[in-house]
Structure 1
Amino acid sequence: MAVRKETEQAGLTVNHPHTTGRIYGGVGCTIAVLLAVLLTLFAPLGAAPARAQEPTDGVTQPSASPVALQIEEITPVITDSSGFAVRVTIENHGTAAIEHARLAVRTNAQYNFVSRSDMQAWAEGTTMIPTPDELLTLDVGTVEADGVRTMHGELHADAGQLQALTAWGPRPLTLELIGEDGGPLPGTTPLQTFLTRSQAGLHGERTPAINLTVAMPLTSHNWKTNTAVTDQLLSSGSGSVRPSDAVTLGADDVRALKAKDELAARFERLQLVGDPLVLRAVGTPHVQAISQPGMFDVTTYARVGDAGAYTRAGITDQGWRAETGVNLLRSALGDEGAQTRAIAWQGEGSWTMQALNTARAQGYETVVATRDFALQDDATATTETYRVPTDHGEVTVLTAQSTLSALAQQQPTSAQAGAEQTDAGRLQRLIAQSAFYQMEQPYESRSLLVCLGESANSTFVTSLMTALNSASWVHLASIDELATAASAIEPSQMPDLINQYVGQQMPAVSSALEALNALARSRDDIERFNTSILVAGQSTHASDGSSPSAAVQESGTAAPQSPPSASPSASAQRLSADAWAQYLLQAHDAFALPALSPHASAREAMVNGAQRFADALLNRITLVPSGSLNVVSETASMPVTVSNKLPYPISVRVSSLTDSMEIVTSRLSDVEVAPNSEAQTSFVVRVSTSGTTVAREQLLDRHDQPFGAVQQTTITSSLQLSDKSGIAIIAFAVVLGLLGLWRQFHRKKDPDE
């Protein structure tokens, strides 16, 4: 079985035999370690140091120098015909000008790196390696305070400095500002990187090349709402609207995708793994494989373990199956017979056994592990292709080589690696590192996977592929070659190893759960509209007599929809209310699938877009209140208008409620509103006294669930004598008057009166 070691392979001439389990004998390991120590101690003694350097304490600290050097361009691979060129930017952040400075570019043509830690220490500037062999010295002159200057130098292929590189492999390279005396310029720190000589033009034995598969995902997480489509969908019942177009990419994103696709046509060994959702935007993609649609996060899906939650959010299992991706590819290519490998790309979680079972059940026979799948001794770079048995069949796991992939994704190996803060410096390290990996075990065939990032720019990818094409020690292999390589570990051992080592630390799924809950709420709003507000059963009017509802695809992009026809009959086609209702759900679900990708920005944008779409649907049904009502009798009528700006009829209820016991309205009123029109209903107002109150009107669906904004009508009561109360008052006054007259005539007068 596999053995995970913390020791490191050291020395260029120590090569242990390869075994499936990567088991190394104790004697071999002891010799390797002793040889590493000896080479590290005595290799620098063969050449005089070009400059003094203080020993480090083993703790890497970032440079505090006010002068920064940055590599803008440099020749990554030296061949017999390449020559050497370098362009360096000098930034003076100090308060004083730099005067009489020169830029020295030096190497050590005889030095061989003995271990990975040796290379890393050099990159971080914490090791002492003399570089006495001068390649270039450029006069910098003066760099003013807060000034910037760019220096460029080059050597022709026949230059003696390059001819001195008589052995292939990576060498230390120093870029340093020096003074007139040739010593380091005070206040400056040298930049340490690598120079790699290829085998081209050199004599000697050629060992087998190391196989590198360079894979780049063709996808984007910059999805946004296509307001033109959503507005048209809500305002018309035309069958020409495609619900899947409710989300779209910006023009800049499409250009970036096309530029990457063109790279695959230019570099045939660049393995493009295309997201099926973006292929239609690209046009005619040059992909060697496809990923899951929308880069759906399979690993998080497996961790959540609740398929119902995804269904309620609008994501069915059919929506991200491997066959669905193939169907989308065929639609993009216009070729119903197109076929390619479907690969599940790693999400936020890890490829645990549960995740691998899930991926295999969905039809993915191959997955890419970009991290957290280290099952072998990491002392040397080895083939990391694994066969894993699952409940649904065997799945092949392709594991990315961590160091090369990080550099290919434009990330430095550490913050202290000064030269790796630019693309040119990172490429220089990647080339040197790949050469070192080949020299670790030169007679053993190995296949490594290098994964580029989703945001890799075309310029960097072009530089990388051009450099790798010049690297004589590299064979650029296809992803099919990598996938068909023998399993590095016996498949029967894989489940136990994965359970032991993979997925021990994974991010929480709280963000995904929040997105699922939000999507479920917005989908519930649309389903409630379909079942409790929309008047269903409207017949379809299509000039060709076909039923557009039959063309409605299952939610979650389960199958590609045919593009709308340009014929008049197709453009005039009108959906039935039932078919239109399904279109609304499909449009919502177009937001849902990208929302459950590993990218937080896409998740937020798509969740918000889905909610806005559901809100826009319900907001097209509004109440138009009377505003104010003056009541001068015991009863009155309060009119309320319901406006429907949707292309299909609706049936709703309107409720009215006052905050007074003396001035009240009737409670509910049912109303049906034709498409794109208004309908009026009225409430009975009853008053028993003068005064003022507010009636609050609310739209309800047919199950008395409220939606939309609450409207208010102010009711003012001013009772007049013409009503029953007034008549009673007059009658009472008459009685009092008659009683007064009777008393006046029947009372006895006082004798003195």
Structure 2
Amino acid sequence: MTEDHLRGQDRAPLQPRGCRHTHRYLHRLTAAACSLLACLGLFGSLSAPAEASQSDRGTAVARTAKTTGAAPGLPTLADKAQTDGSQEGEADISLESSTPVVTATSGYSFKVKITNKGRETLSGGNLLASTNALYSFSSRTDMQTWAEGGARIPTPDVFTRQEVGDIAPDQSKEISADLPSDNPGIHAMVAWGPKPVRFAYVDGEGKTKANIYTFLTRTRDGLQTADTPPLSVTMVMPVTTADWAATKDSIKALVNDRGKDEPETGGKQSPANQGGSKNNEAESSSGRQTSTPTHSPSGNSQGEGQAGQGDSGEKKTTAFLTLTPAGANRGRKQEDLLAKHPALQSIMDPSYLHTFTGMPRVNGLMQPADFDITAYAENEPSSYRDAGVDPQAWRAASAGDQYRQTAGKSADVPGAYAWQGRAEWTRTSMAEAKRQGYDTVIAPEGFKAGAGASAHTGKYTVTTSAGEVTVLSAQRELSRLAQGHPTSSLAGGEATGAGRTARFLAQSAFYQMEQPYADRDLMVCFGAGENPALVDQIMSAAEEATWLSLGDLATLSKATPQDDGGQYFQSVLEPGGKEGGSGGREMIPTLHSLATSRKDIDRFGTSILVEGETATPEPSQTRAKSDTQALARQDASSTARRPTNPQPWLDDINRAHDLIALHSLSGVGSAPLLADQARALSDHLLEAIRINPTESITVVSETATMPVTVSNSLPFPVRAKVSSKTNSTEIVTARTADTVIPAHSEVQVTFTIRVATAGQADADISLIDRDGNAFGRSGNTHITSNLRLSDMSGLVIVVVAVLLGLLGLWRQFHRTKDPDE
């Protein structure tokens, strides 16, 4: 349906002269009634819809009449599509790409996808892209209502109209356009700022099937507009990840192969840590997790100085926990982003830094492994120690130590910032951060309270029980868009990255126009797991925005705090409370899981492993078996050189578990899943001692023996009791048998079976530690008894039976018969 055809329908038919006067009054009365109804509808909306000013509306209507030839007050094609919203629901429009910033020479391009959500084929129609070149948003509510499709803002300036063919059910079509800078819709923009943009899909019958509302922002370039100072914005990206993994091979290498070919001094690098890096020496040194405490079997934590000695065990721990393929790919993209956008400020996780191929730019350090300090403040500190995480693991000094291990001992350490976790910052959590050496904390999503206030420098000074803490609070609306969240669920245009980018630029332009001469420095934070493509998209657009000046963390840190900051935190964050919400409570199941796995490792060291000097002297018979098995395996030489002190090996395992625990308690959403790998580590340690029972035994006498083989794949000897219990009272076995299983060997113990009668039974065989607790996997042996009289007692019974039989026959032939018989 063409625009000329619509104009022909809209044009009033000729009437007799006597009726024209009456028609004029009826027309005016009808227009007045429509205006009254429109005002009542707008006034009663949930969020006050943004209306164009009367002068703007009059200008738009006049311009519409001039460009289309329609009489003032009559609907144009764009307005008709906007008033047919009742037909929406059969189709869906999504904005795949668009030009968020328009200059005098850039033009405007877009790509939208139209999807048929109905059950019938959509007939061919048109995609209408339009704007209101003279409209200026007057408030934040004005912009939000437009984004949600509730504003009655006319869009008479048509960018383009694209034909759309038939669309089958559940199918989509992409429509794109690349408009030149002299496009009438762009050329009509005589003032800079955010402009409303609307995409409408109109079918062949002229019914609107779908609408989407978005923005573009016209720069001052080429316009006769007064120049004002740009708005300073600091763009911050946290560089961290939860994509860590401990593979089965790495667990096996750590648990089963430690010390196999190393001298007792531990000076040789583990083969598991060699190769796979362009700078092997740098990777090895960076892997010394100085922030991760080591524990002795008794559970005592060593000091930070001891934890940073850099022995081979710490190097092996680095190879133990590696990035997943997805995490490595994300790291490469993050490194490219920092190289491409110099204004992008990075807050680096120091435990993640050594994974990069080069040395990326670091503007600040966060707590190691992005440890969730806000959750820590809501839970008991003892639960974290039980899980294997000591406060020294995430203190600011440890972050600096880890940074130097990668950048060099003489490198200048950037400032340390405590990054927010799952809950909002409170005075309690800020005090915990302060005690660990963090003078500044970052709130990457801003604060819910007071979010509707005017955009200003998000810097506060808060007094806590541990001293004053500086809070850098991100601008909430801009940061949520940068982190991939739409401003509301009704803002359909922001469902894609292109729509969120367009809204981000439009919103920032409005903030500059709102207070053009105010001295402000807004902080915008990207998300920890944000798609690098969206970060690149927003940064590229922000670099082209002439109304923005991209700042840095150093300048923001020196900015003057807000005067009302103390009052805000005084009213919202009461001293000593835990009013930040229940975000930290989500960590309780993870803490319980980590505490269980950590306890199992400690239990192995105290109740299963052969302790201290007792590991060296072995019974002669056991030692002979061990030597024979070493010869059979052809590793007698390495077995002879194996260290006899198991403590360094056990420390490596403890350190690996605690490293997983630290990353499991990160503020990144998927981090708690890593606790399963800590559980796998402790399970592998206990299950390395295996029972190999006899599949089945047939017993043909009152007593028999049942052999049970116990193997030990660990590099150090262990002591255990083998327990056997049957489910029958007629067929029983001996209860327990003590044994010492040498390293990488197996031993065989025997149980006596006693049978009282023929039958069947199952013997449940399990391992018990020195404290009487079962561990590892149990085994089962099926016992079948076919009792035969084949021993001396059976022979006596047979002889007696024969004698009794002969006696019976003799009496039968020699007895005196009765007279009547």
Q: Which residue of the partner structure matches residue 59 of structure 2?
A: 46
Alignment-derived partner of residue 319 in structure 1: 393
Compare 119-128 and 371-380 and name the one that shifted more. Answer: 371-380
Deviation larger for 614-623 or 63-72: 63-72
Cα distance in structure 2, aligned partners of 1:461 and 1:693: 67
Q: Match for residue 350 of structure 1?
A: 424
- The 5-angstrom pairing of residues 23-34 of structure 1 reads none
Matched letter for residue 187 of structure 1: T
- Tell me, yes or no, if structure 1 residue 713 matches structure 2 residue 815: no
The normalised TM-score by structure 2 is 0.75
Name the aligned partner's letter for residue 86 of structure 1: F
Q: Which residue matches 1:561?
A: none
Give, in angstroms, the shift of residue 325 of structure 1. 2.2
1:237 to 231, 249, 258: 258
Q: 2:324 aligns with which of 231, 250, 256?
A: 250
- Point out the more displaced range, 742-751 or 510-519: 742-751
Q: How many residues align?
A: 680
User: Which runs of structure 2 are paired with 1:596-745 in the superposition (5 Å)?
Assistant: 596-604=665-673, 606-717=674-785, 721=789, 723=791, 725-726=793-794, 729=797
Cα distance in 2 between the residues matched to 1:47 and 1:436: 21
**TM-score by structure 1 length?**
0.81
Q: Is the 8 A contact 2:81 2:207 kept in 1?
A: no
Of residues 264-273 and 335-344 in structure 1, the stretch that sits farther from structure 2 once superposed is: 335-344
Which whole-Å deviations, capped at 9, do the CAs of 1:162-196 have from their partners, x for residues lacking one?
A: 4443322112223345689xxx9313344332221
Amino acid at match of 1:195: L
Residue number in structure 2 paired with 1:524: 599
The amino acid of 1:667's aligned partner reads: R
Counterparts of 1:461 and 1:373, CA distance in 2: 22
Counterpart amino acid of residue 525 in structure 2: C
- Name 1:428's counterpart in structure 2: 502
Instruction: Give the secondary-structure state (helix, strand or coil) at the position aligned to 1:698.
Output: strand
Residue in 2 aligned with 1:168? 192
The answer as to 2:199 corresponding to 1:125 is: no
Question: 1:375-394 counterparts in 2 under 5 A?
Answer: 376=450, 378-394=452-468
- Does the CA contact (< 8 Å) of 1:66 and 1:187 recur in 2? no
With over 3 angstroms needed to count, the CA separation of the structure-2 counterparts of 1:497 and 1:289, relative to structure 1, is same
Report the counterpart of residue 11 of structure 1 in structure 2. Answer: none
Once the two structures are TM-superposed, the CA of residue 334 in structure 1 deviates from its matched residue by: 4.1
- Which has the larger share of helix? 2
| AA of the residue aligned to 1:124 | E
For residue 94 of structure 2, the aligned residue among 43, 64, 70 is 70
Question: Is the contact made by 2:101 and 2:218 (CA closer than 8 Å) also made in structure 1?
Answer: yes
* Deviation of the 1:397 alpha carbon: 1.2
Counterpart secondary structure, 2:217: strand
**Alignment-derived partner of residue 538 in structure 2:** 464
Distance 1:141 1:688, change over 3 A: closer
1:280-679 matches, within 5 Å, as: 280-283=354-357, 284-304=359-379, 306-371=380-445, 373-374=447-448, 376=450, 378-489=452-563, 493=567, 495-499=569-573, 506-507=581-582, 509-537=584-612, 576-604=645-673, 606-679=674-747
Q: Per-residue CA shift, 1:510-556, capped at 9, x if unaligned?
A: 53111111111112111111121112336999xxxxxxxxxxxxxxx
- CA deviation digits over 1:319-378, x for unaligned, max 9? 222222222222233455341122222211121111111111122222221346245473
Q: What CA distance in whole angstroms lies between the structure 2 residues aligned with 1:398 and 1:92? A: 46
Q: 1:498–1:164: structure 2 CA closer, same or farther, 3 Å change rule?
A: same
Q: Please list every run of 5 or more consecutive structure 2 residues that lacks an aligned counterpart in the other structure.
A: 1-48, 65-74, 260-265, 273-315, 617-637
Q: Residue by residue, what CA displacement relative to the aligned partner does 1:184-227 show, whole Å, maximum 9, x if unpaired?
A: 93133443322212223444433222111111122222333222
Question: Using the alignment, how far apart are the partners of 1:611 and 1:648 within structure 2?
Answer: 21
Instruction: Please give the residue correspondences for 1:129-140 in structure 2 after superposition, counting only pairs within 5 Å.
Output: 129-134=153-158, 136-140=159-163
Whole-angstrom CA distance in 2 between matches of 1:155 and 1:714: 82
RMSD over equivalenced CA pairs, Å: 3.7
* Distance apart, 1:687 and its partner CA: 4.1
Partner Cα distance (2:819, 2:97) in 1? 135
Offset of residue 151 of structure 1: 3.5
CA distance in 1, matches of 2:223, 2:777: 80
Tell me what 1:216 maps to.
237
* SS in structure 1 of the partner of residue 675 of structure 2: helix
Please name the residue that 2:283 is paired with.
none
Task: State the Cα distance separating 1:230 from its structure 2 match.
Answer: 0.9
In 2, Cα distance between equivalents of 1:48 and 1:752: 144
Partners of 1:276 and 1:43 in 2: CA distance = 54
C-alpha separation in 1, matches of 2:429 and 2:239: 23
Taking a change above 3 Å as real, the CA distance of residues 45 and 153 of structure 1, as seen in their structure-2 partners, is same
1:690 positional shift: 4.8
Indicate how the Cα distance of structure 1 residues 211 and 63 shifts in structure 2: closer, same or farther if over 3 A, else same: farther
Deviation at 1:64, TM superposition (A): 2.6
Q: 1:662 to 1:102 in 2, by over 3 A?
A: closer
What's the CA shift for 1:108? 2.5
Matches of 1:703 and 1:63 in 2, distance apart? Answer: 74
**C-alpha distance in 2 between matches for 1:420 and 1:384:** 25
Contact 1:244 1:586 in 2 (8 A): no
Report what 1:23 is aligned to.
none
Shift of 1:581: 0.9
State the AA in 2 paired with 1:677: S
| C-alpha deviation, 1:298, in angstroms | 1.2
- Distance in 2 (CA, whole Å) between partners of 1:440 and 1:743 is 130
Cα deviation, 1:380-423, whole Å, max 9, x if unaligned, reads: 11222111122333222111212111211222222322322222
Whole-angstrom CA distance in 2 between matches of 1:635 and 1:141: 90
Deviation at 1:626, TM superposition (A): 2.9
- Take 1:62 and 1:530, find their aligned partners in 2: how far apart are those partners? 71
2-structure distance, mates of 1:539, 1:682: 24
CA distance in structure 1 between the aligned counterparts of 2:783 and 2:533, rounded to whole angstroms? 70
Distance (whole Å) between structure 1 residues aligned to residue 335 and residue 59 of structure 2: 49
Deviation sequence 1:130-164 (CA, Å, 0-9, x none) = 23334x32442534444544333334446665444
Worse-matched range after superposition: 495-504 or 136-145: 495-504
CA distance in 1, matches of 2:339, 2:601: 43
Alignment of 1:63-102 (within 5 A): 64-93=88-117, 95-99=120-124, 101-102=125-126
Conservation of the 8 A alpha-carbon contact between 2:81 and 2:202:
no
1:150 counterpart residue number? 174
- How far apart, CA to CA, are the structure 2 residues paired with 1:117 and 1:524? 55
Give the distance between the partners of 2:60 and 2:494, measured in 1 at CA.
27
**184-193 or 456-465, larger mean C-alpha shift:** 184-193
Matched, 1:116 2:140: yes
More moved, 708-717 vs 109-118: 708-717
Rounded to whole Å, the distance in 2 between the matches of 1:79 and 1:280 is 42
Which is further off, 113-122 or 65-74?
65-74
Contact 1:92/1:98 (CA < 8 Å) preserved in 2?
Answer: no
Report the secondary structure of 1:48's partner residue.
Answer: helix
Q: Supply the distance in 2 between the matched residues of 1:315 and 1:385 (Cα, whole angstroms).
A: 31
| More moved, 259-268 vs 634-643 | 634-643
3-state SS of 1:586 partner = helix
Is the CA contact (8 Å cut-off) linking 2:422 and 2:583 kept in structure 1? no
One-letter amino acid of the counterpart of residue 216, structure 2? L
Greater mean alpha carbon deviation, residues 451-460 or residues 329-338: 329-338
Partner Cα separation in structure 2 for residue 74 and residue 635 of structure 1: 87
